[in-house]
Every structure is written in structure tokens, then in C-alpha cells.
Structure 1
Amino acid sequence: MTNKLKLPKTGGELYTYSPRNAITFPIPENKSFEKRIAFSAAHVVADPFAGTDPLNNSKVDWESTLQYRHYLWSQGLGVAEAMDTAQRGMGLSWEQAKELISKSVTEAKSVGGRIACGAGTDHLHAGPGIQLDDVLNAYSEQCEFVESQGGQIILMASRALAACAQTPEDYEKVYGMILDKVSQPVILHWLGDMFDPALKGYWGYEDIDKAMEVCLRVIKENKDKVDGIKISLLDDQREIQMRRLLPEDVKMYTGDDFNYPDLILGDEQGYSHALLGVFDAIAPAASAALLALDNNDIKSYQTALERTVPLSRHIFQTPTYAYKTGVVFMAYLNGHQPHFRMVGGAESWRSIIHLSDLFVLADEAGLLGDPELATERMRLVLKQAGIE
């Protein structure tokens, strides 16, 4: 079968494209890195044979989902489990997330893989009548579960807290009480409203400078219980600004899927570790870059990551929350799962034009591990759109 494809442009015009040869990326022998901590927020795979309503009752394909976590660990990456990449609050329920966390922590222990798990309030409906005590109890329930399973907590932003908090002090109160209860330092997560519109005005302010002041107060007042913070604002200068204001032992984990190469590399005043959704899609290149950084080979680090940036910016284009579709499509193209079906039917969140452009950008980044397989699978998706 020819590797040539007919791909569509906006407006319906077709053009011929032939993928290049894949790049062979080195894999770290020690399955970890010395200079940076690197987590990949991992996606979940839906079970296409469950026979349930995908909008309201999607089932998880556990075999494929857990296999992908083993793949990430094999690349030296840690797994950030049950985060927004796994569609928390966008198709994946808390009951499903509990099972996911339990299974993944068990798998991590079996191979010595690093894992941290999202704890939030997504089982609490963020409607009228919600009180701060309800948010506190919901956070407590999820944090206690993650710790009971042996996972590190990633304290996720709360839609319910954003809905009921009246002042910045309400945020400080809730976070202070939760951090007082946890037994091990957590990773905080400040998720911008471009990822989740319900989080607009988080920390009590829409003004980012004022919001950052509140977040920093929470960290400084509870620094013994804070391992670090992941900020996902897609603003590299804000991240650098905050990174320089953190207490000495508190880490910055970049969640910036636009500017990660420079943020991880850092400057004379510091650097960011990584907790990125895009690492799910670009794992081999991310691993090769971090290995090069360990070896002080800055040129190879920059080459490996910078060629992935156009792909990442494409995957995370507006509406940003739909990035999950591109991440899962990459796993499908590369043979990590046998189908392109997502929790909540989210495979429909991106157009055939978007997916076709993603295919080209992935190929240009050397991230189609088996171009022949990827071409065959892309051809199947194109046929569904009426392109022969």
C-alpha cells in the first residue's frame, strides 16, 4: 500500500502528502532523569465495545489505558494520573477516576514508575447552594483516597470552589485546611480558564497579578506541605515571574504546552520541572531531550524539543480544552491503542482538517514511529470523512 495520502485543506481542496522516515530517539537506561522531574499527564482509552452511551456512561478500556502508562514509564517519564488530560470533569467521573488511580498506582509500584494523582472536587456539583464546607469535604475525600492508595497528591483546581468562593480569603481558608490535613507534600495545580472556563477568576481575581499574590500566600504559609506548583496559563513570562517568587524548596512544574522548551531549560535564576499534557503525545522526543540535558548537550535538547512545538501549539489551539482529542489521536496513529474512541465521544471535538494538519506536524517532528501504520490509520479516518 502506498504511503501517499490525499489530505484536505480548509475549503475542501485536497493535496498529496507522503510521510517521511521516523526519527529514532534514544531511551534512558535508568528510566529517569537527573536534572529535571518530568511527568506526563496521561490520557484514558475508551472501550468501544461497552455498548453504553458514550456521552453519559463511557467505559474505560483498562488494558490499553494501563499499557500506555507502562509506555510512558519506559520512556523515563512519570505519570500524572487522573488529570484533565484523562478528561476529569469532561467525561471521566470520580468513581472511574478512583479505579484509574488505584490500578495505575499498583502498576507504577510493579515497575518502580513515578506517579502522582489528581485530587479535586469533581464529584461535587458546582451549582447554587454549594458552601465552602462542601468543597472542603469533597477535597478531603479525594485527598484521603489518593494517599490511601500510596499516590502523591496533585491538588487540582476546583470548579465548585470557583463557584462559591466570595473572596480571596475563601481560597486561602480552603487550601490552608486541606494542606494541613495531608500527610505528604502535594503539587498544586493552577489551571487557567483557557483550559476550563469554569475556573475564570480563580484565587479570587481575574487579574493574574493579584491572583498570583493569593496563590503565593497559600504556598508560603504552607510551604512544608507543598512540593511544587504546576501552572497552566500558557504565559511563559508569568511562569518565570512566579518561579522566581517561590520559596526555595518549592518547585515550579511547567504546564505551558506552548513554551516548554525554554521554561524547562531555564535561565540564570532557575528552571521549571515538567508536568505536561503534551508529553503524552511527544514522549520519545521529550525523553531524548531530557536525556540530552542530563548530558549537558544543550543543542540536542533544543533540537529534540523545538521541532515538537508547532505540533503542540496545534494540538492546544483554541478551544484549548479539546487538546485531548489530538493527544489520543497521536496514540492511535502510533499504534498504542487499536481505535480512536474517547470518553464522552470526544474524538469528535476536532475537525478532519485539524487531524490532517496534526498528522503532517507529527511527521515533521519525527513522531510517527511507524509511518506506514500511521498512514494506514490516517487513511481510515479520512474515509470516514468521505475522502478516498
Structure 2
Amino acid sequence: MSATVVGHEGAPELTASGATVRLPRFDDGGRVVGTEVRELNAPGPWVAPSAPIRSRVAFAAAHVVPHVGAENVPGAPAVVDWDATLAYRHQIWRYGLGVADAMDTAQRGMGLDWAATQELVRRSAAEAASVGGAIACGAGTDQLDPAAVEPGEQGLAAVVDAYREQVRVVQEAGAQVIVMASRALAKVARSADDYARVYDAVLAEADQPVVLHWLGTMFDPALAGYWGSESVDTATATFVDLIKAHQAKVDGVKVSLLDAGHEIGLRRTLAGLDGSPVRLYTGDDFNYPELIAGDEQGYSDALLGIFAAIYPAASTALQSFDAALDGDAAAATRGHAILASTEKLGRHIFCAPTYFYKTGVAYLSWLNGFQPGFQLVGGLHSGRSLAHLVQLARLADDCGMLLDPDLAAQRLQALLTVNGVDA
């Protein structure tokens, strides 16, 4: 197979690896309608940085790896393979990215219980300190059962207490706090003022600037009406007022609404605030190439689940943006092209229903040899179809993200066999 250019003009050229796999083609009903023999590409020209990345602040939101033989079934407490989970984070740090841990990618409220979350925060923060890696961890309220809290003063107080407990755990571990959106708060709040009261109390506990996380309903339907309104414009005004009121305690905001136009508008609003700067960490796993590349008025930093799947390419792209700072006129275009070459993969992993994107992140981790089995805590690995997974493998190959093609071919064949497909 000759070298091919993938994804975007100017993206890296890929060459054949020699590894082959026979893949099925599916119709819209999931029936096998044919097969293809595919020669997999060698990995892209990804390089770990020799110095800290300067052009953007970037975090990859990482998943957790379960013990393959444990009862990681829906509703059961998570049993985590700590060696594999932490080794994956070391890969991200080696490529110069920070780790955003205990976030929705780690299945907060979707399989990872509060007891396991606390251990994850402490272990990850200790590992980060051992290598000088950046670490930020989510503090939420998922130790509360939203069904057990009711609107009113008691419900709001319970939410504040839950947030405080989690903020303390993160701070005591030595990690930066990411204040996650709360299902319980979405249930008990009745106005924008209720959100302001809760966040006022939570931010008063912060010992260093935090990241505020606005997570859209495509990621978690239970967060409908967050910030006190179904209107995005009204919610945004409340969000900006909160930031203004606590600007010295807000390092940045992570916005996960999958709306590039909204993000750019908010980014420009934040850039125009007086006082300490507030970063916009894109959480848009669809439009991240253009948002990180930016425009003449600025760019977004990154706190992304897709970066956990494409961290070698993401790091290489950010190093190109670094080179642009040093006067390489073509480097910014190269960086954008690398990110753009992964966009189809990102859109596939995060397609609706979006909250099953963790399945794709874990699947690619398994194909690349970073976990022994294709599993997630809470049984969430069953969240995508075989047809979806086969297409994911094709798209990962198209952008050079199968890091060990021989192993990927073996594991793809095993997946097909165990699922009853004789390709």
C-alpha cells in the first residue's frame, strides 16, 4: 500500500505497516453484507516533547481500566485495575499533556462510585507529583442520590455539603479542582439565584483557582436547565455573572456544549473581562481542531475526552503551535492539520448517544494494548454496537492512531470472532 494523506490538507502522511485484518461491512440494520481485507497503517509521526508545551494548556480526560475478572457489572462498586489505569496516565504525561481525572470520562455517576473516585484522585495526584505532571480532578456531588434530595433549603444545603467534601478530597490530594456540574443541583435548584448561592459557597472553599465545568445534556440529560434556564443565552449570562463575581478564583471554564459558535462568543466575552484572565478550555469533542487553532482574536485551551484517545497526535499538534510561537510560519497550519486529521474519529467516538463515548475511548485503549480486556466499570463497554466499533477502528487507522498495528489486527479479529462474525 502506498503512503496516503488523510483527514486534512497538510496532515501527516501515513505508510503501510504490513499488518492486515479482514473486516466486515455492515448495512444500516447491522447485518454483514461483505468483507474487506485492510492493510493497517503504521502509527503517525507522533513525538513526545522534549520541553513543556507552551502554546496551549491541555488536559486529557482519562478513563479507568477495570479488573477483567471482577464484578464490574451495572450497579456494582467499581473494581479498578490500578496498574493499568495509572500507566495510561503516565503515557499522557509523557506526551506533555495534563490529566483531567475523576471526570465524566472516568464514568463519574456512570459506574465509578464515590469510594473508588476518592482512591483514583489520591493515586493519580501522587503519580502526577512523582513525574511533575499536571493534574486536575473533578469535584461534584455524586455521593448524593438525586432522588433523595428535594428542592428547598435542605436540598441546597445538602448539595453544598457534598461539593465541599469533594473539593477537600481533591485539594488535600494536591490536584487542581474542576467543579463539575451536579445532577442533584439541577434537581433542587429553582432559579439562577439558587445556582449562584451554591457556587458562591463552593468557591469560598477553593484554595487555588478552579475550573468551572458546564456539561451539556448531550453528555448527561439529567443536567437540563443548568444555570437556571433552558435558554443557552440566559444560562450563559448567569454563568458569566458567576465568573465575574469570583474571577480571582476561576482559572478557566470547560464548556462541553458541542456548539463552536457559542464557545467562540463566550471565549471573546471572557477575554474582554477586566481583572485576572479566565481561560476557555474547550470541551467540544466535535469542533476542537478549529477551536484550539483559534483565530485572530484568540484560541481555546483544551480539556477533552478525545485527547485521552489521541494524545500522541494532540501533543504533536501542540508542539507545532509551539514552533509557531518561535517564528515557524507554517507550523500553526501543520498543527491545525494534525488535529483536523483526527476529527472524523472524534465525531464518531462522540456520536449520539454521546454519553457512550467512554466505550470508544476504552476500545481504542484496548486495541493499542493499554488494557488487557475491552471492558469498562459498570458494564459500559456494551454501550456501542459491533458495527460502530469496526468503523471506529477504520477511522483510527485512517489517522495513524493504531499504535501497534499487529496487536490491533489480532484484537480486532478476536472481537469479531467472539461476536459471531466470521470475517
TM-score (structure 2 length as normaliser)? 0.89
Out of 96, 109, 118, which is 1:76 matched to?
96
Q: What amino acid sits opposite 1:5 in the alignment? A: R
CA apart distance, 1:35: 1.1
Give 1:265's aligned residue. Answer: 293
Q: Percent identity?
A: 49
Identify the match of residue 314 of structure 1 among 333, 342, 348: 348
Q: Which residue of 2 aligns with 1:42?
A: 62
Of stretches 265-274 and 323-332 in structure 1, the one that deviates more from structure 2 is 265-274
Match of 2:46 in 1: 25
CA distance, structure 2, for counterparts of residue 312 and residue 56 of structure 1? 30
Alpha-carbon distance in structure 2 between the residues aligned to 1:63 and 1:128: 35
SS in 2 for 1:4: strand
Partner of residue 276, structure 1: 304
Structure 2 residue aligned with 1:158, among 171, 174, 182?
182
CA, structure 1 residues 276+129, in 2 after alignment: closer, same or farther (shift >3 Å)?
Answer: closer
**Structure 2 CA distance for partners of 1:51 and 1:324, relative to 1, 3 Å:** closer
CA contact (8 A) 2:68 2:372 kept: no
| SS of the residue 1:143 aligns to | helix
1:186 aligns with one of 199, 210, 213: 210
Deviation at 1:53, TM superposition (A): 4.3
Q: How does 1:316-355 map to 2 (within 5 A)?
A: 316-355=350-389
1:106 maps to amino acid: A
What's the secondary structure of 2:316's corresponding residue? helix
Paired residue for 1:8?
25
> Which residue in 2 is equivalent to 1:60?
80
Mapped to 2, the partners of 1:162 and 1:54 lie a distance apart of 24
Deviation of 1:299 (Å):
2.1
Q: Does structure 2 conserve the Cα–Cα contact (< 8 Å) formed by 1:22 and 1:370?
A: yes
Once residues 123 and 230 of structure 2 are traced to their aligned partners in structure 1, the CA distance between those partners, rounded to angstroms, is 38
User: Alignment partner of 1:293: what SS?
Assistant: helix
Q: How many residues align?
A: 387
Distance 2:299 2:289 in 1: 11
Q: Describe the SS at the equivalent of 2:302.
A: strand
Q: Structure 1's 145 and 2: CA in aligned 2 closer, same or farther, altered over 3 A?
A: closer
**Which AA in structure 2 matches 1:250?**
V
1:137 corresponds in structure 2 to 161
Partner of 1:240: 264
Question: TM-score of the superposition, structure 1-length normalised?
Answer: 0.97
The 3-state SS of whatever aligns with 2:146 is: coil
Is the Cα–Cα contact under 8 Å of residues 47 and 58 in structure 1 kept in the other structure?
no
2:117 corresponds to 1:108:
no
Question: What RMSD, in angstroms, separates the aligned Cα atoms of the two structures?
Answer: 1.3
Change (3 A) 1:12 1:52: closer
Structure-1 separation of matches of 2:374 and 2:420: 17
Query: Aligned equivalents of 1:284 and 1:230: distance in 2?
Result: 22
